[in-house]
Amino acid sequence: MNQSLISKPVSKLAPLIKNKSISPVELTRAVLDHAETKQSDINAFINITREKAEAAAKFAEQEILNGNYRGMYHGIPIALKDNIYIKDETTTVGSKIHKDFKPRYNATVARKLSDAGAIFTGKLNMHEYAYGITNDNPHYGASRNPWNTDKITGGSSGGSGAAVAANSNLASLGTDTSGSIRIPAALCGVTGLKPTYGRVSTYGTFSLAPSQDHIGPMTRNVKDAAGLLQIIAGQDNKDPMTLSAPPENYLDHLTGDVNGLVIGIDEEYFFDNVDADVEKAVRDNIRFLEMNGAKVELIEIPALNGTEELDQITVFSEASAIHQEAFFKNPEAFGIEMRTVFQNIKVPSVIDYIKAQEAKKRLKSELLRVFETVDVLISPTLPFTAPDIGSNFVDINGKKEELIKSALHFMRPASLTGLPALSVPCGFKDGLPVGLQIIGPPLSEARLLDVGYMVEQNQS
């Protein structure tokens, strides 16, 4: 099969499968062949499940030949981050402790994708227990950026970003607690959506911090993300945090019409200490939206300045509760990064944790007031492009900055408040992708995707 075919987005391939111009079996084999070829360079997968994938593709092909086409992702090869459960499939969570763990049930998102006819090709590399932003995994090796294999993919969903960018998979799911979908999406040049908290069930996913965990699409373009969200969104009785509001038809909302859209820009927070070339790419795309009828309103959100402490207290407290017993039993089973964190950081008190949750509510209220006057907030996804693997620092306009602190700065507001946030590619610097982030009020995924779709038109 022509390599140009497996580089096509799902939105282009789905009609070809539907009308039987291409076979799910041929497509799946071509994607698997390419993934296996690229694995030594990219290390996107922890496990490739060729035999199961080919069997599923044959079943999908027969269904389609019999006239039982299920929709956009029927017969489409897709892989999941390795903290999302697939029944009887090894799910390592990027760890040594869970290296032989096989769940006895499917995650809700895996079940929904299976029901939609998607073909699972394997489990994708991730930061150990999703606790990190580089995807430099101590047990399974670093995933490497397809644009430059000396560079990080970002994490914790780095394997997902790398696989989609390298054409080793047609689409993926990642998880996002403090930015782990959006960071690798930006660094790998793919589309990544963190939905509203509760829009997508997290049942059957190994948690990092339950009050901030999200699952979302990582895809080649906005249409693919919209179609994937359409499948996985919705209320789930197995996850009491899911929302009752029914999902919209996200594909139908992709009009590209931004006339009258009001874009909020917080210069002090969201454009603070950004690489000059990254900033230019983002601002050029904002101007493109303005030329197509959008309006920009400068705003100030003072409460954003306290987000670092709130995120640290929340994530560390909840992650400590999950891993405390295993860590005390066998700290050496954890990688050096997680081991150092658990050994050197004092667990916040219950009082500190409760205060942080109250502060998160106040932050969300302030952002909701902002959304009474603007439709979306736009910022760079990250203030830099991908740094070297193994580096703890980034260069921003000639100044050395701490990687983690810089990476999470623009991520935290949407993570802490559960608001939806989309990262879309918006340009390049020195051959490395730049991401643009769009944040909206609760359940505004359709609007974010539509704005992202318009930004996407500016890249062609």
- Residues with active-site annotation: 81, 156, 180
Nearest to 441 by CA among 363, 381, 374: 374
SS3 (DSSP) at 230: helix
Q: What angle do CA 217, 436, 135 make, to 5 degrees?
A: 55
What backbone torsions phi and psi does residue 303 show, to the nearest 5 degrees? Answer: -65, -20
Residue 318 vs residues 210, 311, 327, 370: alpha-carbon distances, Å: 7, 11, 14, 29
Both structure tokens of 41: 């360079």
185-203 core/surface letters (b: 16 or more CB in 10 A; e: else): bbbbbbbbbbbbbbbbbbb
Q: Are 398 and 352 in contact (CB under 8 A)?
A: no
Per DSSP, 233 falls in state B
- Residues 171 and 4: their CA atoms lie apart, in Å, by 16
Q: Are 82 and 103 in contact (CB under 8 A)?
A: no
DSSP 282-303: HHHHHHHHHHTT-EEEE---GG
Both structure tokens of 213: 């965990």
Q: Are 440 and 375 in contact (CB under 8 A)?
A: yes
Q: Are 403 and 157 in contact (CB under 8 A)?
A: no
Q: Are 453 and 223 in contact (CB under 8 A)?
A: yes
Distance of CA 92 to the CA centre of its chain: 19
